[in-house]
Structure 1
Amino acid sequence: MHVERLAKDKVRIFVSYDDLEERGIDRDEIWLNGKKVQELFWDMMETAYAEVGFEIAGPIAVEAFTMPSEGVVIIVTRVPSLPGHGRTADDDDAMDVELSDTMFSSFVFSFPDFEDVVRVSYALYDYDIHTSLYQYNGKYQLFVDEDSVQEDEYDSIWSILHEYGEYSEVTTAVLEEYGKCILRSNAVQHIVMQFPL
């Protein structure tokens, strides 16, 4: 388990499949929100507090992303309480966190140069995946709909994306709100057709 502080109110936690196996949790079981998963979550929060001083004080948002051969990335964000809706310590003790409700069926990779986007598009062209392209934070962000990825092609697609870009923790909601949408759908196919290598 590895914890990284992303901002004052946000941490990223990487849990390897070996970590899950040691706890007797199957890969698919992590989305079922059983007792073992609840225990894992609170262990993660204890580790986050011990390593980077991140403490839960009120409501939180949890996003979880699967990485095909490495493990699970979990991003925990403290959300400001609405007036009159604050939590007490007793509420925190009783709080249930359901990862299954917060999992996003997508992932995003960022690329500093458009040339990298063109190269990765050619490498991904033969895969029938749904993609969108955004510009955000001075980089190109390629959104991949995870539901469109065939299970036996997952590792190959992930490796190709890693070769040309880097995994981005930005969510599609942020891209829609603050980013500039360049290609809404079939981004890979459009780029290959319009930009010859």
Structure 2
Amino acid sequence: MRLERLNYNKIKIFLTFDDLEDRGLTKEDLWKDSQKVHQLFRDMIDEASAELGFEVSGSLNVEVYALQAQGMVVIVTSTEHEEIEEEFNDDYIEMQVTVDECQELFYVFQSFDHLIDLAKRLQGLKINGGTIYCHEQMFYLLLMDEEVDAELNIDTIIALLSEYGTPSTMTIHRVEEYGKIIMKHSAIQQINTYFK
């Protein structure tokens, strides 16, 4: 689990599927109202309080974004209420939850050589799209859902991506803002053209 403070009343939590598995949860469990899910949110808030000084007063708005094969991003916003009924104790947290699924694959690579090796393997699957960014001496590959042939097994593509890189815990928006675009369109095709 990775925590990041966005502003005074908002934090971002990145959970990998391994984090969920360690807690005995699956991706599908998050959509259910179970005791395990409540405990997960309590643990996240406790850790955010300890690490980031994130104090909860009032209710919480929770937005959950599922990233394909990468995990989940949870945005938690504390909304203060002027009047809190006295009958509620400290264990009570009111939440409004929004769930969305991201239709993109966003991976980070230690070196450009790893991208070259990956591009050769993806060429055999007829994947030619993608955008490549560079940020803090790391390389990022963004593959949108429409750039992947619908007939291909997404798990095969994810397995190849994971062989050469790792799912990015940094959001695409941050990389776009602070990084540089190396190849904007058809990145896999360009790599295979220039690095035969």
Question: What's the TM-score once normalised by structure 2's chain length?
Answer: 0.69
Indicate if the aligned counterparts of 2:119 and 2:192 stay in contact, CA closer than 8 A.
yes
Indicate if the aligned counterparts of 1:108 and 1:170 stay in contact, CA closer than 8 A.
no
Structure 2: distance between partners of 1:189 and 1:76: 34
Question: Any unmatched runs of 5+ in structure 2?
Answer: 6-10, 86-91
Larger Rg: 2
Structure 1: distance between partners of 2:74 and 2:122: 31
- Post-superposition Cα deviations, 1:148-197, rounded to whole Å, max 9, x if no partner, equal 4336521111111111111112222122211101111211111101111x
The CA RMSD measured in Å over matched residues stands at: 3.3
Any idea what SS the aligned residue of 1:98 has? Answer: strand
- Post-superposition Cα deviations, 1:80-102, rounded to whole Å, max 9, x if no partner, equal x7xxxx53368x944321112xx
Structure 2: distance between partners of 1:159 and 1:66: 12
Indicate if the aligned counterparts of 2:62 and 2:96 stay in contact, CA closer than 8 A.
no
1:87 partnered with 2:80: yes
Write the mapping of 1:134-153 to structure 2, written as runs, cut at 5 A: 134-149=133-148, 150=150, 152-153=152-153
Structure 2: distance between partners of 1:138 and 1:60: 33
Write the mapping of 1:125-164 to structure 2, written as runs, cut at 5 A: 125-129=123-127, 130-149=129-148, 150=150, 152-164=152-164
Distance 1:94 1:173, change over 3 A: same
Distance 1:99 1:37, change over 3 A: farther
Deviation at residue 117 of structure 1 after TM alignment? 1.0
Indicate if the aligned counterparts of 1:128 and 1:148 stay in contact, CA closer than 8 A.
no
Structure 1: distance between partners of 2:133 and 2:36: 34
Percent identity of the aligned residues? 22
Structure 2: distance between partners of 1:41 and 1:151: 34
Any idea what SS the aligned residue of 1:20 has? Answer: coil
Aligned-partner residue type, residue 99 of structure 1: V
Indicate the structure with greater helix content: 1
Distance 1:184 1:19, change over 3 A: same
Structure 2: distance between partners of 1:184 and 1:96: 37
Question: What's the TM-score once normalised by structure 1's chain length?
Answer: 0.69
Structure 1: distance between partners of 2:146 and 2:192: 22
- Post-superposition Cα deviations, 1:42-97, rounded to whole Å, max 9, x if no partner, equal 44212324566476735555432132xxxx71222445x7xxxx53368x944321
Write the mapping of 1:115-194 to structure 2, written as runs, cut at 5 A: 115-129=113-127, 130-149=129-148, 150=150, 152-194=152-194
Match of 1:5 among 2, 12, 16: 2
